[in-house]
Amino acid sequence: MKWLMTRRVRSNSLTLAVLLAALCILCLFSMGRKDVQNPNHSSLSRLTRIGYDDIDGPEKACNCTAILEGKPEALNEAKILTMHKSFIESLRIPDHFYVNASKDCTNFKMSRKYLTFPLSREEEHFPLAYAIVVHHKAQNFERLLRAIYAPQNIYCIHVDLKAAPSFFDAISSLASCFPNVFMVSRREKMIYNSWSRVQADINCMADLMATDVAWKYFINLCGQDFPIKTNLDMVRKLRVLDGANSMESEAMSAGKLSRVQFVHKLVYGYWKADGGKKKGPPPFQLPIFTGNAYILVSRAFVLSVLEDHRILALIEWTKDTFNPEETIWATIQRMPGVPGSTWTSSKYDMTDMNAMARLVKWSWHEGERSSRQAVYPPCQGSHVRGVCVYGAGDLHWMVAQQHFFANKFDTDTDPVAIYCLEKYLRQRVLAQLREEN
């Protein structure tokens, strides 16, 4: 009898163990299904572990939340901070730091908090291509790269041939840590207002087209740009464009006509008119439009730039004009048959405030909203050649705009502005992942 009771206990224990094992398997299966149904689950947990306190930022010295809300007290405190040279110096990172730090790429990417995994399937299946033209301040560039980096995207970096060797070494060392970041195959010697700025972008366009990445849109930047949208924000807006391009393109004003009416050449290091020598008419009687150097264009547009015989003829005609980066893209955008282009009618003119590519404050367009001539509020930072170098006080207005990027930022002028903007973007990324979950 005792033996029988012992056998029954063992049998019941075995049955209970089997039931518990089955329940565990069922739970694991359910968890697995949950992760499959929600691909962002692991991304969210990994991103949460990365954290958001910027290792370069004045975390304890300023209140970014209040700054983004435009609170006067927080803005005044930030302004006072940037007036102290010692504060600026304490956050400066020399170029050689990146050469040494990138010798251990794994540690570099982890310590600098790069997002090295796709944050969503939507972004993973819509890769972007970047061309970034730089000539100094590796710290500015590295913060820009970190803010826009995603493993599914691809990045072509053009360093001015005139740049200091220490700067080139810093950028190439950085690029070597990422399989999807590369140095352009042909560098240009950048001359202000000359064709070299456009050629640098075209060189990157050709290199990007030669990669295996099936990127959808091309975005060109300089080292003092910074995003004001997350990668997911950009992808969703570009999906809505559905192959259309977004850039400034307007009829050329009378004051700018001389730029394309006379031949220009390099004179003692400056791009100047060649003794009043007049140019012939544009090829195919193309009307010339004006815009700026920065564009959001489809892959098909880029292919046309490299292959369309009309565009190739226009490129040759434009090479000896003044400030060609402000005419070439705007003109191609109005050419019939170019993918994503628009008609030449003035009804299709697009200003820089309506184009999504880049937000810039020019000093002559600043003013109070009550002024009929003002386009945007006064710069809260400083000005360089008429362009606002943003301060922390510009952020509240800036993040409400539709643009993808803003220019100019400078860590040597207002590191608080970049720090708070990057923190805002990281927090927005986390919020977007939580919404998806």
DSSP 379: P
Q: Is residue 33 part of a domain?
A: no
Segment 284-309 shows an average pLDDT of: 97
How many Å apart are CA 247 and CA 354, to the nearest integer?
A: 8
Segment 228-233 shows an average pLDDT of: 98
Residue 24 binned pLDDT confidence (cut-offs 50, 70, 90) = very low
Report the DSSP beta bridge partners of residue 270: 267
Q: What is the pLDDT of residue 135?
A: 96
How many Å apart are CA 358 and CA 414, to the nearest integer?
A: 19
Q: Is residue 71 part of a domain?
A: yes
Nearest C-alpha neighbor of 291 from the set 341, 338, 331: 331
Q: Is 326 a catalytic residue?
A: yes
Q: Is residue 371 part of a domain?
A: yes
Do 392 and 323 have their domain in common? no
Is pLDDT of 25 > 60? no
Nearest C-alpha neighbor of 202 from the set 180, 186, 214, 222: 186
Is pLDDT of 324 > 90? yes
Nearest C-alpha neighbor of 388 from the set 416, 371, 410, 403: 410
Q: What is the pLDDT of residue 50?
A: 46
User: What percentage of the chain has pLDDT greater than the value 70?
Assistant: 86
Segment 300-306 shows an average pLDDT of: 98
Point out the catalytic residue in the list 77, 326, 366, 368.
Answer: 326
Is pLDDT of 34 > 70? no
In DSSP notation, 222-271 reads: ETTEEESS-HHHHHHHHHHHTT--B--EEEPPGGGTHHHHEEEEEETTEE
Sheet of 405-407, strands arranged across? 225-227, 405-407, 358-360
Max intra-chain CA distance, the chain: 119
Nearest C-alpha neighbor of 189 from the set 135, 137, 139, 265: 135
Residue 160 binned pLDDT confidence (cut-offs 50, 70, 90) = very high
Residue 285 binned pLDDT confidence (cut-offs 50, 70, 90) = very high
How many Å apart are CA 75 and CA 392, to the nearest integer?
A: 7
Residue 162 binned pLDDT confidence (cut-offs 50, 70, 90) = very high
Domain's final residue, options 332, 367, 383: 332
* Stretch among 17-21, 340-344, 371-375, 418-422 having the lowest mean pLDDT: 17-21
Q: What is the pLDDT of residue 85?
A: 87
Question: SS3 of 222, please?
Answer: strand
CA 167 → CA 114, 171, 185, distances in Å?
21, 6, 17
Mean pLDDT over each residue of the chain, to the nearest integer: 88
Do 364 and 431 have their domain in common? yes
Q: What is the pLDDT of residue 216?
A: 98
Note the pTM of the prediction, 2 decimals: 0.87
Give the count of domains, the chain. 2
Structure tokens at 352: 């820089």
Task: Let me know: does 223 contact 137? Beta carbons within 8 Å.
Answer: yes
Q: What is the pLDDT of residue 389?
A: 97
- Can you give the length of the chain in residues? 437
Q: Is residue 260 part of a domain?
A: yes
User: Who wins on pLDDT, 22 or 389?
Assistant: 389
Segment 175-193 shows an average pLDDT of: 96
Task: Let me know: does 394 contact 424? Beta carbons within 8 Å.
Answer: no
Phi, psi of 291 (to 5 degrees): -165, -135
Do 255 and 321 have their domain in common? yes
CA 352 → CA 49, 265, 344, 399, distances in Å?
39, 28, 17, 16
Residue 58 binned pLDDT confidence (cut-offs 50, 70, 90) = low
Is pLDDT of 11 > 70? no
Q: What is the pLDDT of residue 362?
A: 96
Question: SS3 of 174, please?
Answer: helix
pLDDT tens sequence across 331-383: 999 999 999 999 999 999 999 999 999 999 999 999 998 898 999 999 999 99
Nearest C-alpha neighbor of 312 from the set 415, 403, 206: 206
* Stretch among 18-32, 35-49, 71-85, 160-174 having the lowest mean pLDDT: 18-32
How many Å apart are CA 62 and CA 50, to the nearest integer?
A: 21
Q: What is the pLDDT of residue 274?
A: 87
Segment 405-411 shows an average pLDDT of: 95
Q: What is the pLDDT of residue 56?
A: 58
Nearest C-alpha neighbor of 119 from the set 424, 435, 402, 400: 435
User: In sequence order, which residues have a C-beta less than 8 Å from that of residue 326 and are 6 or more positions away?
Assistant: 256, 259, 290, 291, 292, 293
| Domain range for 258 | 249-332
pLDDT tens sequence across 78-127: 999 888 888 888 888 999 999 999 999 999 999 999 999 999 999 999 99
Domain's final residue, options 281, 298, 332: 332
Is pLDDT of 31 > 70? no
Segment 284-308 shows an average pLDDT of: 97
Q: Is residue 225 part of a domain?
A: no
Q: Is residue 241 part of a domain?
A: no
Q: Is residue 258 part of a domain?
A: yes
Q: Is residue 426 part of a domain?
A: yes
Segment 27-38 shows an average pLDDT of: 34
CA 346 → CA 132, 227, 318, 355, 357, distances in Å?
31, 30, 22, 15, 20
Is pLDDT of 26 > 80? no
pLDDT tens sequence across 289-299: 999 999 999 99
- B/e letters for 305-319, b = 16+ CB within 10 Å, e = fewer, are beebebbeebbebbe
